[in-house]
């Protein structure tokens, strides 16, 4: 079957309009989905793995929610890079701000799909799809992203916002904490000095879903000690981040032995791969450990030269 089930189509003209439509159309229990770039949802609809009753197209919101900007003195007390949920993959790839402060995005975008998909697909759509093999969830987990979710539940019909981290946002394969009457509108990442990040991926062919992938971020203090670290994995089961592996590095020198130990913890304790057409569980676990090692070493090299 390559034809979607019947559905009703609406086109939102603003975030508030989209939230109103979500509340109205979903009031009776109907399945209502947001259509951003469409490169995750539409293939599932064609295979009838998804059969929403209503689609709300937010393509017209690209002007409102498509941006990569730097802000000073964010809620975490540091500068932040703020990324609108409708920002296209191509815009992430070409962003000089991300190339400077979070080159992990540049790394990842180079190996995501193909130019056609990168021209239309969006970061918000990718994160909300929560595919187990999706790259940007691992990226955002590694850099300690905070996600801004807006709903229409405020007093007097006003909107309300909440901010969550990736561990709260990502609730497993194809599941997030975004409620039926809410939208992801922004991703915020810290822009900290002496921080490096990197992404490594193994796939069967260029642009394919990952066999295994790893994203890392590493921050050093003035003495070269690891101040903060993030490790995110894709396609190998487990959670979206690796808290035990991260904790093993914080507060110590980033030696090769420490990096190898963290990679071993990530692969052995924080993955749960399955055997499928992309490889055996043992192979995927091994690859995950190798990729964490490589990504941590590249992140360290970048942190050592970062301003």
Q: What is the phi-psi region of residue 38: left when phi exceeds 0, alpha when psi lies from -120 to 50, beta otherwise?
A: left
Pick the CATH number of 62-190 from 2.60.40.1220, 3.30.465.10, 3.90.1520.10, 3.20.20.100: 3.30.465.10
Residue 142's contacts (CB-CB under 8 Å, 6 or more residues apart) are 104, 197, 199, 215, 216, 217, 230, 231, 232, 241
Per CATH, the number for 195-305 is 3.30.390.50
Ordered by start, the domain boundaries in the chain are: 8-60, 62-190, 195-305
By C-alpha distance, which of 168, 161, 211 is closest to 186?
Answer: 161
pLDDT at 52: 95
Per CATH, the number for 8-60 is 3.30.43.10
By C-alpha distance, which of 223, 204, 153, 159 is closest to 185?
Answer: 159
pLDDT, mean of each 10-residue run, the chain (307 residues) = 89 96 93 91 90 96 97 73 97 97 96 88 94 95 98 71 96 94 97 96 83 97 96 95 98 97 98 94 97 98 89
By C-alpha distance, which of 187, 191, 190 is closest to 66?
Answer: 187
């Amino acid at each position: 079957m390559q034809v979607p089930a019947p559905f009703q189509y609406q086109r939102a003209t603003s975030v508030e309009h989209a939230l109103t439509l979500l509340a109205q159309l979903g009031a009776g229990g109907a399945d209502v989905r947001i259509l951003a770039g469409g490169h995750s949802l539409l293939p599932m609809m064609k295979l009838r793995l998804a059969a929403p009753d209503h689609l709300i197209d937010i393509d017209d919101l690209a002007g409102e929610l498509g941006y990569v900007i730097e802000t000073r003195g964010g809620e975490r007390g540091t500068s932040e890079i703020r990324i609108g949920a409708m920002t296209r993959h191509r815009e992430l790839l070409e962003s000089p701000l991300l190339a400077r402060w979070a080159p992990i995005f540049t790394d990842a975008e180079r190996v995501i799909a193909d130019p056609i998909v990168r021209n239309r697909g969006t970061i918000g759509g990718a994160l909300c799809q929560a595919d187990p093999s999706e790259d940007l969830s691992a990226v955002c987990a590694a850099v300690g992203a905070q996600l801004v979710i807006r709903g229409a539940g405020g007093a007097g019909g006003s909107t309300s916002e909440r901010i969550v981290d990736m561990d709260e946002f990502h609730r497993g394969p194809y599941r997030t904490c975004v409620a039926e009457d809410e939208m992801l509108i922004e991703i915020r990442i810290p822009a900290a000095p002496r921080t490096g990040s990197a992404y490594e991926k193994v796939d069967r062919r260029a642009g394919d879903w990952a066999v295994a992938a790893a994203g890392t971020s590493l921050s050093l203090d003035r003495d070269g000690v690891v101040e903060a670290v993030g490790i995110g994995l894709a396609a190998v089961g487990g959670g979206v981040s690796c808290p035990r592996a991260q904790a093993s590095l914080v507060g110590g020198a980033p030696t090769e032995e420490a990096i190898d130990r963290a990679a071993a913890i990530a692969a052995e304790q924080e993955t749960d791969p399955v055997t499928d057409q992309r490889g055996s569980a043992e192979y995927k676990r091994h690859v995950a450990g190798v990729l964490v090692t490589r990504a941590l070493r590249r992140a360290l090299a970048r942190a050592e030269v970062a301003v």
